Structure 1
Amino acid sequence: MEIASNLLLCLILFLFAALSRLLWRRQSRKVKNLQPPGPPGWPILGNFFDLGTLPHQTLSKFKPKYGPVLGLKLGSVNTVVIQSAMAASQLFKNHDHDFCDRKCPIVLTAHNYCQGTLAFDRYGQSWRMLRRICSMGLLANRQTYETAGLRRKCIDDMIRYIEKDAATAQERGEEGKVNLGHFLFLMSFNLVGNLVLSRDLLSSGSKEGKEFFDAMSEVMVWAGKPNLADFLPGDQEEHGAGHESSHKNFEGKEGPSTISNQNVTIIILEMFFAGSETTSSTIEWAMAELLRNPKSMTKAKEELDRVIGVERKVEESDMDNLPYLQAVIKETLRLHPALPLLLPRNAMEETEYLGYFIPKETQIFVNAWAIGRDLESWEDPLEFKPERFLGSKIHYKGQNFELIPFGSGRRICVGMSLAHKVVHLGLASMLHSLDWELGSNICHETIDMNERIGITARKLIPLEAIPKKRVMYP
């Protein structure tokens, strides 16, 4: 009797184990087959044409129907778009390493640019070495503090160039409007030139300055446009080869001990691209928003007058005492992140994310533009209201996922600390030194705020305004 009872118990346990294993397999298959929802695509091309001319805006419109995690097929490339603070939090907190890889777009592979780029290099020893070089050397906190004088000089030069250009225009009988984007770019570009080459590279009236500004704008536009070549199967093999080589150093030797002259050139080039384009664009957007919102402009100027007065220049050391100015910049970055989709990441391995199966080599976009305008995170998200940040602990340093213009995690922008200083001092100096008018035939309600998209999102129509001398320094 006891033997029979034991046999029955063993049979029950066996059946229970078999049933559990069967259910586990079914559940595993169910999870593994569960892809993020998204719109149906075309044969071969997939959802390529669903991106539109402004992909960050187009993709955000899919969120009400498909939710905060959007699945797309771009050619042969699986793609996931993250469009809420909650989804971004799960990615950066729990899957940062899984999704910290990147691929260099085909348009940037000329002259072996893809071999050693900090922005687009695949994750590995070589990239980590590059990151350390930039974060501990060129862009370390100590280094940025020591170069405060260079920032002051380049911003002073910009104010002087603006005043000179406006005066020249008035002498010709014109209103005296200046193109703010042009002068902001020259300031940012010369600042990087002083940081890495110890000299100015462009002057306000130089032919080369305008040509380089136009050329860089074109590069940023073409590099940011969806390119079908990046999504065809044959190109993925080439990217795979790049992944293997990224675990060698830049002279082809094993280990991350040395870098080549070619790689130094790429690092410097990226500093010019990233440092000049993003900071100048952010200040231009901030000025556009302030000119559209005269009450906010008045509050910012009143704060500057109260803290700084009219007998000295605004300095970086004043920034902690300018909470409204800080709020203006946070609000600008919320509405106008320089990289609306950040830079795309790549899944290093098969990953389960928020219940979805993400295959290896899946491309990951984080729609910082959509997250910054999400009703779930922000009240009146389309309104420019710097006051929302007064008394708030929300910052853009990568820990508050409703505001991530610089990204987060391992791939957060290495130049964030420098950009923070340049944007604050640049905007404060423009507001403190000069009054700004829009001129005839335009008012604050009619300022065009449309975007021109590339890797970065600049104003489609550059901002023009008339500067008037505001304070006189001793």
Structure 2
Amino acid sequence: MAWLPIANHWRILRKISKEQIFSVPRLEASQGLRQEKLQKLFDYVHECIVNHQLVDVGEAAFITSLNLLSATLFSVDCAQFNSDSSQELKETIRAMTKVVASFNLVDYFPVLKSIDPQRVMHKSNIYYGQIYSILDNIINQRLRLRAESSEHMEKNDFLEALLDYSQSNPSEFPRDRIKHLLLDLFVGGTDTTTATVEWVMTELIRNPEIMAKARNELWDVVGRNNKVKESDISRLPYLQSVIKETYRYHPTGPLLIPHKAEVDVEINGYIVPKNSQICVNIWAIGRDSNIWSNPDSFDPERFLKREIDIKGQDFDLIPFGSGKRMCPGFPLATRTVPLMVATMIHNFDWKPEKGMKPEEVDIIENFGVALQKAVPLKAIPIKI
């Protein structure tokens, strides 16, 4: 979906995504599924405390975000904590995004396409094939279930809606398009959410006083013994400020998705020729001292003093893009990221690995389609 021009096929995909998964009624109906996955995250962290184990925060965030998404899309869990297969799936998705972001000579010298000198296409075919195999199995199982029982109770998930739409519009939306759309949502949603949560937790561990403020807000608004619900998010301005500051300081899509100029256009005296590919460097915008005071400091307080949203209207902060090509998963991301962070800090404190001071937790970035931590965050959870 991200690479398609604005035409009929793109409009169909956007419409289906908006109506069948990211609409408010759909998201409200699937709240229970997300609460189950968050409870599993809580239980996993608690188990690590009992067993005196470090938590690989990125790994825990990946498994939770993957299951949050897969439960919504297919009503199944695709990963388990402490599972080798989950680690392999994470590495496959990370490898896919790395290949997409890699420099490829073929883009500049198409005559080399058949040779594939850097083996970029070869690698991408392997990684995409692995994910397509998983999706094929899920689709086949659902089709068998639909065919074998006339009393089949339809699942209230995205896959069921896609199969119904495909059945009614076979030429417009064949099976391959179902698979491609699921791949977009499956990979794109998991990788970016995981990276964001890992960056939030990195900064909270580096700044214990900020973590304490966010936790105290949770205790004041939600209570110490109550579970955080999606309806609570709007009443947690400090937690939202922490996440906004993370979007500014560590944007998971540092260059957004490339755009293309459909006609010659003039912007601030510059002519952008038709068919030019446009990259928006939101990483640089977030570090611009003309826009932000002390841009190299992690300071959530700035968003308590300044009205700014992330819905694509305030161009100083557009982590999900803006306009027609804005990320379709925005409504789900703004629910899942705060809930995952809240689950991890509501009843737990976090310390760096033994022998490390909070300020020594690194923030080295690994640039790609998603901005990942170069060194995975591993930390000590403490029950409070």
TM-score bracket for the superposition, by shorter chain length: 0.7 to 0.9
Tell me by how many angstroms 1:320 deviates.
1.8
TM-score w.r.t. length of structure 1: 0.67
Asked if 1:156 corresponds to 2:39, the answer is yes
* CA distance in structure 1 between the aligned counterparts of 2:206 and 2:233, rounded to whole angstroms: 24
Aligned to 1:394: 308
1:309-359 alpha-carbon deviations (Å, 9 max, x no partner): 222111111112211001001001011111000011112222223222222
Aligned to 1:196: 73
Asked if 1:139 corresponds to 2:22, the answer is yes
* CA distance in structure 2 between the aligned counterparts of 1:166 and 1:218, rounded to whole angstroms: 31
SS class of match (1:425): helix
Aligned to 1:430: 344
SS class of match (2:382): strand
SS class of match (1:145): helix
Aligned to 1:448: 362
* CA distance in structure 2 between the aligned counterparts of 1:282 and 1:178, rounded to whole angstroms: 17
1:239-286 alpha-carbon deviations (Å, 9 max, x no partner): xxxxxxxxxxxxxxxx99721100100111111111111111111101
1:186-212 alpha-carbon deviations (Å, 9 max, x no partner): 001111111111111211122210110
TM-score w.r.t. length of structure 2: 0.82
Counting matched residue pairs gives 329
* CA distance in structure 2 between the aligned counterparts of 1:165 and 1:224, rounded to whole angstroms: 35
Contact in 2 for aligned 1:129/1:256 (Cα 8 Å): no
Q: CA RMSD in A?
A: 1.8
Asked if 1:214 corresponds to 2:94, the answer is no
Aligned to 1:314: 228
Asked if 1:225 corresponds to 2:102, the answer is yes
Asked if 1:177 corresponds to 2:54, the answer is yes
5+ residue gaps, structure 1 = 1-117, 171-175, 237-254
* CA distance in structure 1 between the aligned counterparts of 2:235 and 2:222, rounded to whole angstroms: 10
Paired AA for residue 80 in structure 2: S
Tell me by how many angstroms 1:162 deviates.
2.5
* CA distance in structure 2 between the aligned counterparts of 1:334 and 1:399, rounded to whole angstroms: 15
Aligned to 2:133: none
Aligned to 2:153: none
Aligned to 2:159: none
Paired AA for residue 17 in structure 2: C
Which of 148, 153, 167 does residue 50 from structure 2 map onto? Answer: 167
* CA distance in structure 2 between the aligned counterparts of 1:455 and 1:439, rounded to whole angstroms: 28
Paired AA for residue 273 in structure 1: V
* CA distance in structure 2 between the aligned counterparts of 1:186 and 1:293, rounded to whole angstroms: 25
4+ residue segments displaced more than 6 Å: none
Asked if 1:294 corresponds to 2:208, the answer is yes
Paired AA for residue 22 in structure 2: L
- Aligned pairs (5 A) from 1:66-85: none
* CA distance in structure 1 between the aligned counterparts of 2:47 and 2:366, rounded to whole angstroms: 28
Aligned to 2:373: 459
Aligned to 1:258: 172
* CA distance in structure 2 between the aligned counterparts of 1:289 and 1:135, rounded to whole angstroms: 32
* CA distance in structure 1 between the aligned counterparts of 2:17 and 2:335, rounded to whole angstroms: 17
1:206-225 alpha-carbon deviations (Å, 9 max, x no partner): 22101101111111112112
1:94-126 alpha-carbon deviations (Å, 9 max, x no partner): xxxxxxxxxxxxxxxxxxxxxxxx111122111
Which of 178, 198, 201 does residue 284 from structure 1 map onto? Answer: 198
Paired AA for residue 214 in structure 2: A
- Aligned pairs (5 A) from 1:89-108: none
Contact in 2 for aligned 1:126/1:256 (Cα 8 Å): no
Asked if 1:469 corresponds to 2:383, the answer is yes
Paired AA for residue 74 in structure 2: L
SS class of match (1:386): coil
Tell me by how many angstroms 1:469 deviates.
2.0
Tell me by how many angstroms 1:234 deviates.
5.3
* CA distance in structure 1 between the aligned counterparts of 2:383 and 2:267, rounded to whole angstroms: 55
Larger mean CA deviation between 134-143 and 457-466 belongs to 134-143
Aligned to 2:124: none
The 3 A distance-change label for structure 1 pair 350 and 235 is farther
Tell me by how many angstroms 1:445 deviates.
1.3
Contact in 2 for aligned 1:220/1:455 (Cα 8 Å): yes
* CA distance in structure 2 between the aligned counterparts of 1:257 and 1:397, rounded to whole angstroms: 35
Tell me by how many angstroms 1:391 deviates.
4.3
